[in-house]
Amino acid sequence: MAEIQLRNLSKRWGSFVGVDNFDLTIADREFLVLLGPSGCGKTTTMRMIAGLEEVTEGEIWIGDRKVNDLEPKDRDVAMVFQSYGLYPNMNVYDNIRFPLKVRKVDKSEHDARVMKAAEMVELTDFLHRKPAALSGGQRQRVALARAIVREPNVFLMDEPLSNLDAKLRVSTRAQIKNLSHELQVTTVYVTHDQIEAMTLADRVVVMNAGVVQQVGSPTEIYDNPANTFVAGFIGSPAMNLIDGHLAGGRFTAQGTEVTGLKGPDGPVTLGFRAEDATVSNDTSGQITAPAYSMELLGDATMVTVRVDGQQVNVKASKEYRAEIGDTVSISVPPEICHLFDRQSGARIAV
């Protein structure tokens, strides 16, 4: 059992708050992703779990043990870093085997465990090579195998894909997803890439400036963002957000008018996803503006307009065509819209 409890966890350096009152239970075998921009506190949280960073306030429990005062080696966690951290003088086999030697695992077990871990990450043909003779993706797989061979209670992964090119990121992401299914080990994964978070996580924790903004499944966070920060961070492209005014169910902003909405009168931010709106070349929609940009994506066409100085993106069909500068009309049905309080940024529940 490797349930992790983070009880009112905080980390401060003088007056600077890195993590503020983080309170969460991570279920046994759950794949939890900490997501947010640089400096939001996600890596600091992971380092506190690992024992690499001292806790200012709060408690960390792994299973039935409070681990605040335990050394990293005694917490039974395995880390995979952004920098692969391989030993250049050792071949792949010995790099993977190294944690077993350090932990004084019986030598009779070494070969079987190394081969099993290498097979899981498809490295059996590269065991004799040194790290310098490997590609970035292969080096990251060695780092994964070195964590797997430990058979820990918890995996901690700190942006393990950020050094890889786009194509390798996709294939290695799929490999991590498959490994988590096979290994069934509690995993905490740090990333600033919301696509990684959406594809890998059982639950996502969105953080900003050391504070948890929202915790939920990828679907919950995508469909019902708690505030404008989450709405503007999750999604590719992020949710369109337009500042305006709501009165009697009618939202108005420069170049925008949407009726049939539910919410209190006053200043609000209207949000909607690019794929939920539609675009045409007439003037029947709620937003009419000149096309600012047209991007062919293969399966769709991304149409961008500027409304009151803000960019608004809409995904049209791959056949849709318009020239930059042509007037386009965007239809925004009220049922696809989200409303947020202008002052606090919080979602308005209706």
Q: Please report the pLDDT score of residue 1 as a whole number.
A: 60
- What is the C-alpha separation between 92 and 184, in angstroms, rounded? 25
Strands (E), 27-131: 31-35, 57-62, 65-66, 77-80
Element (H, E) at 119: helix 107-120
Domains belonging to the chain, first-starting first, are 4-228 (3.40.50.300), 240-341 (2.40.50.140)
HSE-up of 162 (CA within 13 Å, CB side)? Answer: 16
pLDDT digits (tens, 9 = 90+) for 90-123: 899 999 998 888 888 888 889 899 998 898 888 8
DSSP string of 4-47, one letter each residue: EEEEEEEEEETTEEEEEEEEEEEPTT-EEEEE-STTSSHHHHHH
Query: Is the link from the previous residue into 237 a cis peptide, with omega within 30 of 0?
Result: yes
Rounded Cα distance between 42 and 18, Å, is 9
Write out pLDDT tens, residues 173-191.
888 888 888 888 899 999 9
How many residues can be counted in the chain? 350
Out of 82-86, 107-111, 126-130, 131-135, which region has the weakest mean confidence (pLDDT)?
A: 82-86
